[in-house]
């Protein structure tokens, strides 16, 4: 009762102030909830009418301020078996294998499959990729950014168009050098960020993938069989 009185008083006070000063504060201007996109392409008969199968999150202002960063909404989140054609290389979102690549500060010496890597992006990982043959000193710098740091993974990527690229779900940055300062900004803005991570709270730990990682072009998929 008293709390209600206080709340009501506060509301009236704020309204009065807005009326007098001609300005107010939009409380949730930078915390817009995710915008679901409903679709009718729900496969098969289902009691779940209008299931949300395509959805995306608003672009991050902090990420947008990084020169050269690429953003794409990437609304598809369905688990699909087999090789998937992506709209960017390396991919930054879209349908993927149900088996996410381990991203608990993992350094992969060999290229892993896109389909497993995209799923770890959905869990908030930053995926750093580099052109095979990158000078050892630069590779050591990338190792240092990733090794042992949760929500980070590093792997070579065949035919990468620059020496290094960095990916988060919906975001990408290409760099000519591992020492490009924008890489640290990218990580700082997007690594396991609640505002941009589609599945915030899902884990990066995936011990069985770590023991036997997929290879490029050969995504791992766990069977339904017994």
Partner 1 sequence: MSELGDDPDVQAEGPVPGQRLRHVLICVVAVAALVVAGAAGWLMRGDGGGSSTPSATSVDAGFARDMSTHHTQAVTMAGYERDTTTNPSLKLLAYDIETSQNFEIGQMQGWLDAWGQSRQSSITQMAWMGHTGQLEGDGLMPGMATPTQMSTLQTSHGRALDILFLQLMIHHHQGGIPMAQYAADHASEPYVQTVAQKMITLQSNEIVEMERILRQLGGTPLPAPTT
Q: Which residues bind partner 1 (CB under 8 A)?
A: 1-3, 5-7, 9-10, 12-14, 16-17, 19-21, 27-28, 31, 33-34, 36, 42-44, 46-48, 51-53, 55, 77-79, 98-99, 194-195, 198-203, 205, 222-226
Instruction: Give 27 or 85: the residue with its C-beta nearer to partner 1.
Output: 27
CB of 204 to partner 1, least distance (A): 10
Nearer to partner 1, 101 or 164 (CB): 101
Q: How many CB atoms lie under 10 A from the CB of residue 174?
A: 17
Q: Which long-range contacts (CB under 8 A, 24 or more apart) does 198-203 make?
A: 198/57, 198/77, 198/122, 198/169, 199/122, 199/123, 199/124, 200/124, 202/100, 202/122, 202/123, 202/124, 203/123
The CB-of-141 to partner 1 minimum distance in angstroms stands at: 31
Choose between 78 and 147: whose C-beta lies nearer to partner 1.
78
195 touches 57 (CB < 8 A): yes
Residue with Cβ nearer partner 1 (145 or 202): 202
Between 36 and 158, name the residue whose CB sits nearer to partner 1.
36
Residue 191 CB, nearest approach to partner 1 (Å): 16
β-strand pairing of 35-37 with 126-130: unpaired
CB of 52 to partner 1, least distance (A): 4
Q: How far is the CB of 182 from partner 1 (least distance, A)?
A: 27
Q: Which is nearer to partner 1, 83 or 194 (CB)?
A: 194
Contact 183, 173 (CB under 8 A): yes
What are the contacts of 134-143 at 24+ separation with CB within 8 A? 134/163, 134/164, 134/178, 138/163, 138/164, 138/177, 138/178, 138/179, 139/178, 141/178, 141/179, 142/178, 143/107
Paired strand residues for 70 = 172
In angstroms, rounded to a whole number, what is the distance separating the alpha carbons of residues 63 and 69?
7
Query: Which lies closer to partner 1 via its Cβ, residue 52 or residue 110?
Result: 52
Q: How far is the CB of 124 from partner 1 (least distance, A)?
A: 11
CB of 167 to partner 1, least distance (A): 21
């Amino acid at each position: 009762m008293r709390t209600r009185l206080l709340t009501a008083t506060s509301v009236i006070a704020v309204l009065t102030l807005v009326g007098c000063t001609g300005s107010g504060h939009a409380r949730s201007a930078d915390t817009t909830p995710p915008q679901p996109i409903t679709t009718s392409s729900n496969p098969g008969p289902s009691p779940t009418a209008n299931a949300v199968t395509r959805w995306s999150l608003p672009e991050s202002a902090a990420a947008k301020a990084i020169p050269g960063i690429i953003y794409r909404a990437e609304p598809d989140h369905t688990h699909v078996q087999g090789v998937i054609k992506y709209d960017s290389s390396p991919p930054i979102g879209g349908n993927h294998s149900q088996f996410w690549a381990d991203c608990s500060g993992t350094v992969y010496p060999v290229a892993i499959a896109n389909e497993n890597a995209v799923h770890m992006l959905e869990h908030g990982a930053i995926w750093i990729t580099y052109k095979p043959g990158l000078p050892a000193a630069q590779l050591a710098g990338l190792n240092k950014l990733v090794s042992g740091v949760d929500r980070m993974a590093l792997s070579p990527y065949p035919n990468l168009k620059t020496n290094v690229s960095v990916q988060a779900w919906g975001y990408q940055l290409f760099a000519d050098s591992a020492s490009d300062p924008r890489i640290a900004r990218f990580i700082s803005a997007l690594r396991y960020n609640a505002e941009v991570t589609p599945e915030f709270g899902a884990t990066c730990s995936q011990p069985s993938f770590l023991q036997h990682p997929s290879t490029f072009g050969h995504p791992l998929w766990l069977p339904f069989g017994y």
